[in-house]
Structure 1
């Protein structure tokens, strides 16, 4: 048993910015700290409710903002580890916590007496001199509690609490199953010949993966979260490509202990049941009612608008690939595992661009320091100093201190580049500490990627897609670092789900921007910049393969909407997950076996274990704003402090403290235009 008095999670951190001292935190510290956090938060809520004076902004809303500080800090500390370094002990703690966290959240959000006080402040908001941020906080607090079910009667609240707890367990199970199956299905190759086409660094990473599993002399390729794998574009052996894609697509559907089909069906049914209890037709209607989209109809209309031209473009691309295959000595019908490989051959033939040959120009350290950081300094004046003296949650994680142009402290940035068996798939940003004037805190943000780690002494060379991911996730990090708010409820990336991807997607624009590219894209051996003619061809090929890229994304977004657009009766009728998928994709015209969905249901972590349920559409929804913003920067000088400061002050800096579309209009001077997106995606008429 851990003594509460000696638990490092229950005392203020002595490290800069309140960084948890991970070197002193053991797994056994977490559960006692959570229990203490639950108790303190409950006591703080009880004190608000017990206040006999009339509800005011200060004694109700501000008191709510002050409450739960310990619990939030413990949770952010733990979930940073559980997503990026989930040992069996950490996974067991997470499973134990899931229903406890859900129950505690509901106990607060569904507290009738608390809701009555919040409603009283909401109803009288016009009678008080509230600032814009204060008024918006009142409106959001009321809206969120009502949306969560605070207006239900006691019996309905109990039913809702039971549903939420069951869902929390199931979503945790989904993620645990996926991590286990992803590790189990890592593809073992007996010889380097089977991996012909990979670079020396990629081969060394595969050899190291094998050695780590006790398979000396062999090679292991680990799987990425999405369906496709970066190596599919390079592997010359068709059988190796087939094995890699087959392993990826089979995750969570093999009939073993990690099978997610029944888990996701239960999740879909319970979400539909909860939506009905809350007065909505389905889960998608429930989710979008509190997003900028407003309704599933608006989402589906956008997806359908884009799907038909995207599918047509993909078919044209497929025909071009098939023509190349048909010209070979032994032609064959193109299959999904061939697409990336022959796409690169066609790209090279049509644009003289071999993306697989670009890796020597994309060494990870240069991309980070001379690319990602350089662009941020150029735009916003911020600077980065590595702090190897500060402990992170894993030896591979690097810590950087970030300062504003005037030298004032901004926060910490943690960078976790490499894949490992204890890290979930994909790439993401999260916060360990969020900024708030009320609490006197500054931001600590984390970027996680899943790049294979080469053997010691070998450089980490990135693909262009991995470079894109690095810039993308850092866009989230900037959002988390720059948000400057009074109240913790609005801190960092606490904005509507279908707006949160907008800043990260905008940050991708600097990848090929001349000043940025010339700074970081230097050959690993010679130091020579990426040749100008190659850069020109990269720009010329930007719309190439967009039929495939748009189709695979839209297919996943539509699957999300299909699963979460069912009611309880319709959910009960689903007995075959694969058949449901096929029917949904046929409905929108995206059921092309050669262009598989970016995520199939059984490994669609975004929506079945993450926070994107009925919200995966947000990437394309946000891209409308993103493409329009890229056009603004191009028209206003590009990489300038004036442009960066405007974007920081009017969008990134406001966090969640105002309506996001209002913030966008403040920045752009008007609503977003969809035309730049259609041009970018090659979907214009």
Structure 2
């Protein structure tokens, strides 16, 4: 039982966060967590962390590995437990009570982090640690902390430290406000349809789901909720051009009522923060931390892909417009396809090209089979692990399922950790998909991982199975790729564990894992008709493979447009940022300058609803997905070369050999490796962008 701990507020004596959870793998005891106690527990955790740091800096002994580096890595355990709860709940069940907790915690946490990074005594002790063996985990840990101190302002004078502290606190407040504003705006702008006739094109299951969503909010009609990206998937099916336009306008307007000022202030503060730390811009500050190394290297990659992507997008636009014209369709724009028209007519063109509709394909992708017989099956083949349900353990919400991940029998069946899956959309849940953790693997304290995979799949009608689009299938594999990075980590120090790697490398394992969704043996194992159990027939296998490459001009261009919007905001100097007053005009100019202003095509995310960069930790870094895809498209060839991929029935020993190699060289190593060297060793050669262009159908465009 947890005992009462004194602090800034009174804590209940049954507070389960005060001590490590007694449940398997330290899974939090969600049933006994009291939201009202989170803020006082957080403040107690800050005080405890301060005490641990003071014990390190106040030591009369000379700095040693044990009394400085290992003591630093052991510190902050209570804080980690509290923050894992706060930020998970804020993303997955953002009630008014949780929002109030996050708004209190975020600025106080930021101020505390800044104070720690500016702690001269702690910085001095870390700098006094003798050089460690090159390539060792110890050397990586020292470099991690020294880099964090330098980038956190430890070398600034007193005036600079004070200014930096104020900026960090304000940015934390604004980031939280942006996310809250966006969630509210997204919910408020959901489109309520009063007449069922306007839903022509939607199947019965989708209509039932929209009806249930409306009833759940006490409304009469059919409620169309909005997802994070600009283009809402439902636009592909709705025949009513007016309703499509209404949905597209609602999507593009999100955050416009209150996030424009937040964006402007954050851009100015980030620019000033970068200058304080000796960088020309926030984009330069971010790129220096990534494997890319510089904004120039990022520009080179984006420029290499842009011309081909835009050329293909124009070709796709013309084909879709031709089909709409021949069909005599009503369009939302008088001179061509608007943002609400292109998705619909592109989908009709895709149905013609592939000779099968997406609704029919989805029947072969029931969620339970995709997860168990696809995602988990692929990992079991590759890494020799087993994933089994733990019905005796509770998640943080009724939608959450807890799974145990264990080594296979050949490795003794040892339990590795826990996976929590939270897959259905909720009105209180942030859009998108992500992986996070409640506990990170490390051998120093002896902790095993507790990983969370979150998606936003539409909840099916009662008694029915959720059917996934190919994009959703890929997303499920992608997020479990992140999960594997956390679950299969095998390092000593928490700071270097699992996904604690640069953004442009963290997406490498997740994107590698996407490939297994369409590997013949894996696809054959999970793609079975939801009603008949029939395996996906050969002609539909061909259609699935073709769909994965279809429409890449549009998809790549909308992604590149978002990258350029992100970089445009974050390569501004302080003086330049001060001159920007119109968010929409700035964004449009950035797209024009980058050659990405394509008619009828919006960036995947526009500024006022670009959660990744103004509330999600990807500022000046949204390009990292493409950088990682270069690694993925080229790196996956290593699986093909060893016989683990590309064949209808690969030798199981070849699959296990390749999987074990990837696990040993990449997944288990966390941030203990030189990333370029690790890729070279795994792939056998330096990365090339050509496989990416081939995959996206852009080579020679």
Q: TM-score, normalised by structure 2?
A: 0.94
Of 497, 508, 531, the residue aligned with 2:537 is: 531
1:85 maps onto 2:93 in alignment: yes
For each residue in 1:392-416, what CA deviation from the matched residue of structure 2 results, as whole angstroms up to 9, or x when unmatched? Answer: 1111111001101120111000000
Corresponding residue for 2:399?
Answer: 396
1:33 maps onto 2:41 in alignment: yes
Corresponding residue for 2:649?
Answer: none
Displacement, 1:2?
Answer: 4.6
Corresponding residue for 1:192?
Answer: 196
**Contact in 2 for aligned 1:383/1:402 (Cα 8 Å):** yes
Displacement, 1:542?
Answer: 3.6
Displacement, 1:465?
Answer: 1.0
Corresponding residue for 1:500?
Answer: 506
1:669 maps onto 2:684 in alignment: yes
Distance 1:199 1:26 in 2: 42
Instruction: Give the alignment's Cα RMSD to 1 decimal.
Output: 1.4
Distance 1:92 1:472 in 2: 32
Of 651, 654, 678, the residue aligned with 2:693 is: 678
SS of 1:651's equivalent?
Answer: helix
Of 115, 118, 140, the residue aligned with 1:136 is: 140
For each residue in 1:562-616, what CA deviation from the matched residue of structure 2 results, as whole angstroms up to 9, or x when unmatched? Answer: 0000011111111110000000000111112411100000000000001100100
Unaligned runs of 5+ in 2: 1-8, 646-654
Corresponding residue for 1:56?
Answer: 64
Corresponding residue for 2:518?
Answer: 512
**Contact in 2 for aligned 1:495/1:660 (Cα 8 Å):** no
1:373 maps onto 2:376 in alignment: yes
SS of 2:616's equivalent?
Answer: coil
* Farther-moved stretch of structure 1 (322-331 vs 489-498): 322-331
SS of 2:630's equivalent?
Answer: helix
Unaligned runs of 5+ in 1: none
1:231 maps onto 2:234 in alignment: yes
Displacement, 1:662?
Answer: 2.1
Displacement, 1:331?
Answer: 6.0
> CA 1:131–1:62 in 2, change beyond 3 Å: closer, same or farther?
farther
Of 600, 604, 611, the residue aligned with 2:617 is: 611
Corresponding residue for 1:323?
Answer: 322
Distance 1:287 1:643 in 2: 33
Corresponding residue for 2:305?
Answer: 306
Displacement, 1:290?
Answer: 1.2
Displacement, 1:163?
Answer: 0.4
After the TM superposition, list the runs of 4 or more consecutive aligned residues in structure 1 that deviate by more than 6 angstroms: none
Displacement, 1:131?
Answer: 7.1
Corresponding residue for 2:24?
Answer: 16
**Contact in 2 for aligned 1:497/1:618 (Cα 8 Å):** yes
Distance 1:187 1:394 in 2: 27
Displacement, 1:538?
Answer: 2.8
Corresponding residue for 2:294?
Answer: 295
- Give the total of aligned pairs: 676
After superposition, residues 428-577 of structure 1 pair within 5 angstroms as 428-577=434-583
Of 635, 642, 658, the residue aligned with 2:641 is: 635
Displacement, 1:296?
Answer: 1.2
For each residue in 1:465-489, what CA deviation from the matched residue of structure 2 results, as whole angstroms up to 9, or x when unmatched? Answer: 1111111111111111011110000
Distance 1:237 1:144 in 2: 53
**Contact in 2 for aligned 1:9/1:29 (Cα 8 Å):** no
> CA 1:25–1:320 in 2, change beyond 3 Å: closer, same or farther?
same
Corresponding residue for 1:45?
Answer: 53
Distance 1:542 1:484 in 2: 34
Corresponding residue for 2:6?
Answer: none
Distance 1:130 1:510 in 2: 35
* Farther-moved stretch of structure 1 (577-586 vs 320-329): 320-329
**Contact in 2 for aligned 1:4/1:10 (Cα 8 Å):** no
Of 68, 81, 100, the residue aligned with 2:76 is: 68
Distance 1:116 1:11 in 2: 31
Distance 1:191 1:365 in 2: 33
Displacement, 1:235?
Answer: 1.4
Displacement, 1:56?
Answer: 2.2
* Farther-moved stretch of structure 1 (220-229 vs 340-349): 340-349
Distance 2:330 2:186 in 1: 32
Corresponding residue for 1:348?
Answer: 351
Distance 1:98 1:239 in 2: 41
For each residue in 1:514-536, what CA deviation from the matched residue of structure 2 results, as whole angstroms up to 9, or x when unmatched? Answer: 11111111111111111111111
SS of 1:581's equivalent?
Answer: helix
Displacement, 1:197?
Answer: 2.0
Displacement, 1:353?
Answer: 3.5
Corresponding residue for 1:620?
Answer: 626
SS of 1:400's equivalent?
Answer: strand
Corresponding residue for 2:5?
Answer: none
**Contact in 1 for aligned 2:638/2:682 (Cα 8 Å):** no
Distance 1:286 1:229 in 2: 33
Distance 1:444 1:12 in 2: 13
SS of 2:271's equivalent?
Answer: helix
For each residue in 1:185-244, what CA deviation from the matched residue of structure 2 results, as whole angstroms up to 9, or x when unmatched? Answer: 11111133222222322222111110011114x110111111111111111222222121
Distance 2:323 2:211 in 1: 33
